[in-house]
Structure 1
Amino acid sequence: MIGTGSVEMAQRQPRRLPPELRGLFDDGGRDRVLSVDLPPGEVVWPDPTYVRWPSNRRAAFWLSDDPVTAELWTALRREHPRSGLWPVLMEDSVQPWSVGQVAPDAATEIDHFQVGAFMEEVWSDWIERATEDQMEMLDPYGPHCPGPADPAPVRCDPDDLADRYAAVLAERGMPLGLAAVTRGADALAVMGWQGAIHHNEWNVPLAAVVRSWEDRYAARLVGMGFNTLELTVAAPPATLQHALHIAAEHWTFCPDAIIQGAGSLIDYAHQIIDKPTWSFWWD
């Protein structure tokens, strides 16, 4: 179960974003304001060798120096509509972003990808190399990619659920990242996260998948690590049939969750029925 309870943080009058945060936006953070006091931190610049668009080089995101409270995450999540900054709890210790090994992309790149096409490409590539035993893992779909699953009914407030899960993750002692994005899913691309690079060299298509989950399953990006993602899901599957279809999506998004985890789509589907969080890790 996800813990409940939150503490309201004292807020000051909204003020224009400080210069280092304004620099995260294409338009210089025009009209963006924040009424939450931030802890010490600094912007993360990508290593020049990782920059895809040298002509538009700027900081990828802001990162706190130390772990933060869940209350701060919640306060910043509530401020997102007017600040334009989405909070992400970041796995602590020595991470690629600590030394600037991030490869940010513009959120507009995500617009060019469709979930169905991405699934079909991953599925087809796997089928070409799969053994008979490996094919059994994809039962009942086998060589035929089922495409994206149907939406599910929303069962609770998606933002409240995300706040409660942030309280769980914050107990691990996680710093906070702030990404200049319109929606949380875009942070995967804009922050230059590289956690799934051994599965997909470009993480922009994965951001497109998470965008779609925001729409179909009321998902929220809450945390990320070197090779992990933590999402809340306010509209999880309620039946095995629906969960199995979603499991096929998860397999194309993060094969290791099934290959090195549950072992088959069917076993994995049983694990995500009614589950309000989706956790992914890549080898």
Structure 2
Amino acid sequence: MTTHSKPLTVLLTDPVGESLGLSLPPGSLVTETNDGPWPEPLLWRADEVASPGTWAKYLSAREAGLQPVLLQDESGVEEWWDGELCPGMMSDPGDHHAEEVLMDFWESAASESEEDAGGTLAPFTGGWPGLASPGRAAADPATTAADVAGGLVGHWLKSPRPALVPVGRTADIPAAIGWSGPVNYENDVARLCAVLRSWEDRFGVRVVALSYARLDLSVAAPPQTLDEALAVAAEHFAFCPDNIWQGYESIRLYAEEALLGNAHWTFWWD
């Protein structure tokens, strides 16, 4: 996947981003990948550790074509964004259709669930149930993202670094930088980004944080009824079965406990 890195290239000679209307703290451009140096900067990341209000301060960078995200170190894989990224493995999110991707994932995960414990799919059967209806906007997506990111810092994310990625929408961040967190589930993260694009459109989702194998999203229009939550939970099961397999007895329980009215969605791949 090719990224539009011109704003980052500017930072080579203008490290604070003054010409972009920014005032960045000390930081560095990341070009090192799993396959060696990448010809263009993949992201900029700050040297400083984020505070609860840091993410919101970077929102103005969107006007320069840069999307903010928090990057969290992992025990044993510290600073995974320097040498662990795999942009050469990624296609373009626009080459994929969200429902086709989810249907494919659903069929695989549902088949495995039926073999191991059929109750996991409840209240659904083996067939793909289709996309959930769009949510009802409850808040501004940017405001919700800032609130969710602020709540993650110091709690779920102990020492995240602010970063900027040259993409037009946050849904494309994982593929643009070559994030490989779900590699044991899907090599081409652009397919997951196609789903994130659909969630942006239907639920006001924004990518706010990436860890080595974890993804955190804010949700401006989360499901408000159990039926709505069940439909979304089916998509989550297809997107990341580990969310249900490792913590919930069924899709129904996940919908009730993790999704109803929740403005924060998180995914983790084993």
Give the alignment's TM-score, normalised by structure 1.
0.82
Provide the residue aligned with 2:44 in structure 1. 62
Q: Following the alignment from structure 2 to structure 1, what is the Cα–Cα distance between the partners of residues 49 and 112? A: 43
Deviation of 1:133 after TM superposition, in Å, equals: 4.7
TM alignment of 1:1-283, pairs within 5 A: 19=9, 21=11, 34-47=20-33, 49=35, 57-80=39-62, 82-93=63-74, 94-95=77-78, 97-104=80-87, 109-171=92-154, 172-271=158-257, 272-283=259-270
What secondary structure is seen at the aligned counterpart in 1 of 2:151?
A: helix
Q: Following the alignment from structure 1 to structure 2, what is the Cα–Cα distance between the partners of residues 194 and 228? A: 10
Q: Which letter maps to 2:46?
A: S
Q: Following the alignment from structure 1 to structure 2, what is the Cα–Cα distance between the partners of residues 274 and 133? A: 30
Q: Check conservation: 2:223, 2:261, Cα contact below 8 A.
A: yes
Q: 1:50 to 1:202 in 2, by over 3 A?
A: farther
Q: Following the alignment from structure 2 to structure 1, what is the Cα–Cα distance between the partners of residues 180 and 102? A: 19
Q: Following the alignment from structure 2 to structure 1, what is the Cα–Cα distance between the partners of residues 73 and 22? A: 23
Residues 223-232 or 122-131, more deviating: 122-131
Q: Check conservation: 1:91, 1:223, Cα contact below 8 A.
A: yes
Q: Which letter maps to 2:68?
A: P
Q: 1:108 to 1:99 in 2, by over 3 A?
A: closer
Q: Following the alignment from structure 1 to structure 2, what is the Cα–Cα distance between the partners of residues 202 and 95? A: 23
Q: Following the alignment from structure 2 to structure 1, what is the Cα–Cα distance between the partners of residues 11 and 86? A: 18
Q: Which letter maps to 1:91?
A: Q
Deviations 1:179-198 (A, max 9, x none): 00000111010011111111
Identity rate of aligned residues, in percent? 33
Q: 1:71 to 1:128 in 2, by over 3 A?
A: closer
What secondary structure is seen at the aligned counterpart in 2 of 1:97?
A: coil
Deviation of 1:118 after TM superposition, in Å, equals: 0.9
Deviation of 1:135 after TM superposition, in Å, equals: 2.6
Deviation of 1:177 after TM superposition, in Å, equals: 1.5
Long gaps (5+) in structure 2 = 1-5
Flag the structure with more relative contact order, 1 or 2, with Cα contacts below 8 A and sequence separation at least 6.
2
What's the C-alpha RMSD, in Å, of the aligned pairs? Answer: 2.6
Q: Following the alignment from structure 1 to structure 2, what is the Cα–Cα distance between the partners of residues 98 and 132? A: 37
Q: Check conservation: 1:105, 1:204, Cα contact below 8 A.
A: no
Deviation of 1:261 after TM superposition, in Å, equals: 1.4
Deviation of 1:153 after TM superposition, in Å, equals: 0.6
Q: Following the alignment from structure 1 to structure 2, what is the Cα–Cα distance between the partners of residues 197 and 18? A: 27
Deviations 1:149-187 (A, max 9, x none): 110110111111111122222333311121000001110
Residues 93-102 or 71-80, more deviating: 93-102
Q: Which letter maps to 1:61?
A: L
Report how many aligned residue pairs link the two structures: 255
Q: Following the alignment from structure 1 to structure 2, what is the Cα–Cα distance between the partners of residues 167 and 120? A: 34
Deviation of 1:90 after TM superposition, in Å, equals: 0.9
Q: Following the alignment from structure 1 to structure 2, what is the Cα–Cα distance between the partners of residues 50 and 241? A: 47
Provide the residue aligned with 1:4 in structure 2. none
Deviation of 1:69 after TM superposition, in Å, equals: 3.2
